[in-house]
Amino acid sequence: CHLIHYLRLSHHLTVLNYLIWTFDKLKSVSSEDIKITDAVFDGVEVRVFEPPGKRDERLKRSVVYIHGGGWALASARTSLYNNLCRIMAESLNAVIISVEYRLVPEVCFPEQFHDALRATKHFLQPDVLAEYSVDPSRIAVSGDSAGGNLAAAVCQQLSKDERLTIRPKLQALIYPVLQAFDFNTPSYQQNMNMPVLPRYVMINYWIDYFNGNYDLAHSLLINNHTALDVGQALSFRGRLNWTSLLPSSFKKNYKPVVQTTGKAEIIKEIPALLDVRAVPLLAENETLQLQPKTYILTCENDVLRDDGVMYAKRLENAGVEVTLDHFDDCFHGCMIFTIWPTDFSAGIQTRNSYIKWLDENL
């Protein structure tokens, strides 16, 4: 993929998505009991999963789901996410709205955020909820990885929109990516070379999302963009101090990496590095206080573990009810790997725990 990119034949992410789709055609997922339709919500494609209606049944609960893939890969239509949303619809007897936001390299930040926000706000309209027989008081916004990032950002934006009459009851974030401020948290140091999502890959996803230059990767890796002399980052430092936000069991013996002098020009070139629509963990306390009851799933073998744990702590400090569901033996992305030949016990375990929480709280 990178060779094709280097030869300027195509973007490597476009090629990788093509390979994902080619492999995906080999898979078949049954959906006998769930009605699956494609729709467009305010210009954004979505896939809707509806369980069969029952006579005299009350309104259904619902989940708006935003898929992961580094803002660049996968789709609501791939078998992995199709299977997850179908099982959610069956298990919860709920209407699932899976958002098909546009991807890198077609678009970059903030377009993915705008797509997810527009689709969610459209669904929250009373007439749309009535069309799908959804209870306005029982709606969750959820997502995994980059989708968890978008779900958190969407919930923050919705909470500040005074024009809305209906807001989510819950948010459920699965190993979410929430910050690009510090690439040397304990989980980034511990899992820097972990398969599925090594640190350098996550940094490259951020660069792609922001349409930045790969030449900045090393400076980001050593936190040059948030050094002590970078004035733009100063006001955010207290919102992401892992030495106070993480429990000792996660901090272990790792030390903070804080540069005295860095490169302020990085923030000037990529101001989105400090934009809360892209990095929800940097939101102010006044916004966090408005967030709905929250579920955050984290995995020990994941560079993003501490993003989720720190967000859970900040939300808790702001007075939000939070469930932090941590798995010591699981890895990033595991929850969607439940179909042969990637049917892992870690996937079943995390998916069941996630759905159980939704069932008990939604």
Question: Using one digit for the tens of pLDDT, what is the confidence trace for 116-139?
Answer: 999 999 999 999 999 999 999 999
Q: How confident is residue 336, by pLDDT bands cut at 50, 70 and 90?
A: confident
* Set 62, 75, 98, 145: catalytic member: 145
Is a pLDDT exceeding 50 seen at residue 9?
no
Percent of the chain with pLDDT over 90: 84
**Overall average pLDDT of the 50-64 stretch:** 85
The alpha carbon of 72 is separated from its chain's Cα centroid by a whole number of angstroms, namely 12
State the pLDDT at residue 26: 43
State the pLDDT at residue 16: 55
160 Cβ contact partners less than 8 Å away, ≥ 6 residues apart? 287, 290
State the pLDDT at residue 3: 40
* Set 144, 182, 208, 302: catalytic member: 302
Residue given tokens 């959820």 in the structure block: 142
State the pLDDT at residue 137: 98
Under 8 Å between Cβ of 183 and 240: no
Q: How far apart are CA 218 and CA 214, in angstroms?
A: 9
Q: What is the DSSP string of 189-218?
A: HHTTT-SSS-HHHHHHHHHHHTT--GGGHH
State the pLDDT at residue 10: 39
State the pLDDT at residue 338: 78
CA distances from 276 to 57, 137, 282 (A): 40, 27, 6
State the pLDDT at residue 5: 43
| Residue ranges covered by each domain of the chain | 11-180+272-361
Is a pLDDT exceeding 90 seen at residue 219?
yes
Higher pLDDT, residue 236 or 23: 236
pLDDT digits (tens, 9 = 90+) for 182-203: 999 999 999 999 988 999 999 9
The count of other CB atoms within 10 Å of the CB of residue 179 is 27
pLDDT digits (tens, 9 = 90+) for 265-308: 999 999 999 999 999 999 999 999 999 999 999 999 999 999 99
Q: How confident is residue 22, by pLDDT bands cut at 50, 70 and 90?
A: low
Is a pLDDT exceeding 60 seen at residue 19?
no
Q: How confident is residue 347, by pLDDT bands cut at 50, 70 and 90?
A: confident
Beta strands 322-331 and 338-339 are unpaired
User: Yes or no: is domain 11-180+272-361 CATH 1.10.15.40?
Assistant: no
* Set 67, 114, 225, 332: catalytic member: 332
Is a pLDDT exceeding 50 seen at residue 176?
yes
Q: How far apart are CA 308 and CA 293, in angstroms?
A: 15
Q: What one-character DSSP code corresponds to residue 284?
A: -
Is a pLDDT exceeding 80 seen at residue 53?
no
Is residue 11 flagged as an active site residue? no
Is residue 302 flagged as an active site residue? yes
Is a pLDDT exceeding 60 seen at residue 25?
no
Q: How far apart are CA 271 and CA 210, in angstroms?
A: 9
Higher pLDDT, residue 8 or 330: 330
Q: How far apart are CA 356 and CA 323, in angstroms?
A: 12
Query: Please, what is the average pLDDT of the chain?
Result: 91
State the pLDDT at residue 58: 86
Q: How far apart are CA 112 and CA 44, in angstroms?
A: 10
**Overall average pLDDT of the 19-33 stretch:** 54
Alpha-carbon dihedral sign for residues 341, 345, 347, 348: positive
State the pLDDT at residue 6: 45
340 Cβ contact partners less than 8 Å away, ≥ 6 residues apart? none
**Overall average pLDDT of the 79-85 stretch:** 92
181 Cβ contact partners less than 8 Å away, ≥ 6 residues apart? 226, 233, 236, 240, 273, 274, 279, 281, 282
Q: How far apart are CA 81 and CA 79, in angstroms?
A: 6
Is residue 359 flagged as an active site residue? no
| pTM of the entire predicted model | 0.93
State the pLDDT at residue 339: 74
